[in-house]
Structure 1
């Protein structure tokens, strides 16, 4: 059904926004509603919804399960053993909770890497949001396991066509220390053949760099460049421990980098070199990482942490201003995924939210984007729309109580 959002603030001006089907069709004052349903935007502002560029959505089930641990200890001794117990139905319930949390905090598109692809896809379909989904690919340099992972990835690529166009497919090799060179080369070739993105963790820890130097005599980005692996279809998460040569390679190859400040800080992975990357021309977006290392999926919070972290690291309060952080969380992420969202403009996909200007966190209201980055929380979000469909209105998502209740049952199962 078409929708007319009447008398809403956009860029400081009161206007109407007409949605036809799943796109913004016209923006201007006093638009005729025709047969469109009318949504009153009085006292609200319309802004694009967020794109969360690095998640492991179903790890909502592991929220606060294993905190305050070193990354490799956390992964090997706590996270991976529990994840081995999760089946597709568990993954589905975790993804449902993730989608609910993202909707309520203004995110309608996410880039995910996790187990049981179909469990996540089913939850995304039901929720009404968008996702670029990859099944995590790990072979630990075992030839037999590598063959199985490759067959599974190829099969999932074919099976992904059963879902709506809100769901995209990507390859998800976990990292250079969990995936063999042969499998990385296979992923590169398969992605090139089918026009797919590749989602990978890269240079997240000092240990990863040290191990790569010991094995190949090169740092991770340099090694991937040597084997011809990097390109504009690569979405690299974390990318903390890189030198200037590596940053230059990333920029030249058009690699999309995802900054995950909350997770990086919690796991003490290191300080992200934002200013150096920006100066080199690297395209940087934002992600939350999984809810077991963040521990939420709130992009409002991630924008603030990113901006503050950059100012502290570079000892410069002008680094990463609010408008830049907001673009990283919206437009830049959408462009990295090739999705026509991330902006409220005629012809774009109708993904947006209405924020309540009467919320005390948005008063007195000098600069809305600054307020959203530095002072807002999810209580400021009244309505969320994705693909032209209302997913949340008056702060409530249909069926949210059941989703939360079912997720709370996992404490009994895993504790």
Structure 2
């Protein structure tokens, strides 16, 4: 059966510097086969989908997330805490995670991401009270048809070692390294068009041993996979690194062998200018998480300054219990507002924010050749956007600016690997109602509401 799909009557934003005001795009066998203006002949296709003049963009790429946290969204006892207070309040709840709850939370997160225009996401899963939790995430992604970059997170330092989490969610160095090897061997697909990849992701500099940092970097080099961690997110992290390691977080990151082209970091709020320049020179990428950072009130990276200095910047939804949503469209809008608020009205455009949400996220995942754009040969991952008629009334001159200025925008169609996963604003997963019911049961159990 043919997998050919033609999207017509679309305002196409295909990549930075490549836009067609009224055109078509042809998808075949999971790839972009071609595109053109409606004034040029379009190829035949098994299915033709009219965008009805709506904006079409590459699927957004989520560069930092914690999917399991949607089981504790807006959790009342900690909603107004600092980052460390928030973590200390929630770790005991997350210690009850099991394969079922991780599958359910991942399934819900991925579906929510699809509705917000995201077609590829990583997830930073670092809480491991039980084995094989990342296997459950990958199963959820495959059941949905979602492009997923799993990361094997880890923690070795519990409360008794001066860390934040309870003993039950940390693991020994041997267990972490053995499971990292297992996951790479089982699930990492380095081939073009992969639907599942794996990276290594110790949680943070203050939650894992120096051995795990250094051995993860060596393992990533051996297997040619990527590295991810939180970095320079909070002033307390700076104090910790100076007291324990006698240096700044960035200096410790470099000392551990992480300053390389295969690394991307979350947040990167408090580096010095020299530190930014050094990591940019090494090819390190960064993920800004504007909504989560503003919700916790801990500052946010100056994304445009990082970009100006040479760091490629993506966007991330971050924790579903700090952001309390999984909409990359909302992150892109907030990145635009935050950038202009911080640096003035001439500092950032909607195209800059959209570039971060697409090309920038793809760079973080080391996947810029195939995702984050819709040039010929790219993966067939795209979004047809919908703005309510009242919200878009009068927005006639620039649909890309309107996408992030007018609100709320949601996916009308989301297509991953040439498959329609959101249709006319509704997710296509037939078992979603059951998953949502089971998810509520798991969340109530975790929050001790039953």
Contact 2:5 2:26 survives alignment (8 Å):
yes
Specify the alignment match of 1:131 in structure 2.
Answer: 148
Specify the alignment match of 2:22 in structure 1.
Answer: 14
1:200 to 229, 232, 245: 229
1:96 to 101, 107, 113: 107
Q: Counterpart of 1:293 in 2: which secondary structure?
A: coil
1:394 aligns with 2:424: yes
Q: CA deviation at 1:359?
A: 3.1
Matches within 5 A, 1:10-159: 10=12, 11-28=19-36, 29=38, 30-34=40-44, 36-65=46-75, 66-76=78-88, 78-114=89-125, 115=127, 116-140=133-157, 145-159=172-186
Contact 1:58 1:120 survives alignment (8 Å):
no
Specify the alignment match of 1:376 in structure 2.
Answer: 407
Contact 1:111 1:132 survives alignment (8 Å):
yes
Matches within 5 A, 1:239-388: 239-314=268-343, 316-339=344-367, 340-356=370-386, 359-364=389-394, 365-379=396-410, 381-388=411-418
Q: Counterpart of 2:337 in 1: which secondary structure?
A: helix
Q: How far apart, CA to CA, are the structure 2 residues paired with 1:144 and 1:345?
A: 43
Normalised TM-score (structure 2)? 0.86
Q: Counterpart of 1:330 in 2: which secondary structure?
A: helix
The alignment of Structure 1 onto Structure 2 pairs a total of residues equal to: 412
Say what the alpha-carbon RMSD is for the aligned residues. 2.1
Superimposed CA distance per residue, residues 8-36 of structure 1 (whole angstroms, 9 cap, x where no aligned partner): 22235222221111011021245455452
Q: Counterpart of 2:152 in 1: which secondary structure?
A: strand
Q: CA deviation at 1:144?
A: 7.7
Q: How far apart, CA to CA, are the structure 2 residues paired with 1:321 and 1:5?
A: 27
Q: Counterpart of 1:170 in 2: which secondary structure?
A: strand
- Which stretches in structure 2 are left out of the alignment for 5+ residues? 13-18, 128-132, 162-169
Greater alpha carbon shift after TM alignment, 97-106 vs 127-136 = 127-136
Contact 1:300 1:376 survives alignment (8 Å):
no
Contact 1:235 1:258 survives alignment (8 Å):
yes
Normalised TM-score (structure 1)? 0.93
Q: How far apart, CA to CA, are the structure 1 residues paired with 2:302 and 2:382?
A: 31
Contact 1:104 1:378 survives alignment (8 Å):
no
Q: CA deviation at 1:102?
A: 0.6
Q: How far apart, CA to CA, are the structure 2 residues paired with 1:208 and 1:13?
A: 47
Query: Structure 1 162/305 Cα, relative in aligned 2: closer, same or farther at 3 Å?
Result: closer
Contact 2:4 2:47 survives alignment (8 Å):
yes
Q: How far apart, CA to CA, are the structure 1 residues paired with 2:217 and 2:250?
A: 15
Greater alpha carbon shift after TM alignment, 211-220 vs 221-230 = 221-230
Matches within 5 A, 1:231-246: 231-246=260-275
Greater alpha carbon shift after TM alignment, 358-367 vs 13-22 = 358-367
- Which stretches in structure 1 are left out of the alignment for 5+ residues? none
Q: How far apart, CA to CA, are the structure 2 residues paired with 1:31 and 1:401?
A: 42
Specify the alignment match of 1:4 in structure 2.
Answer: 6
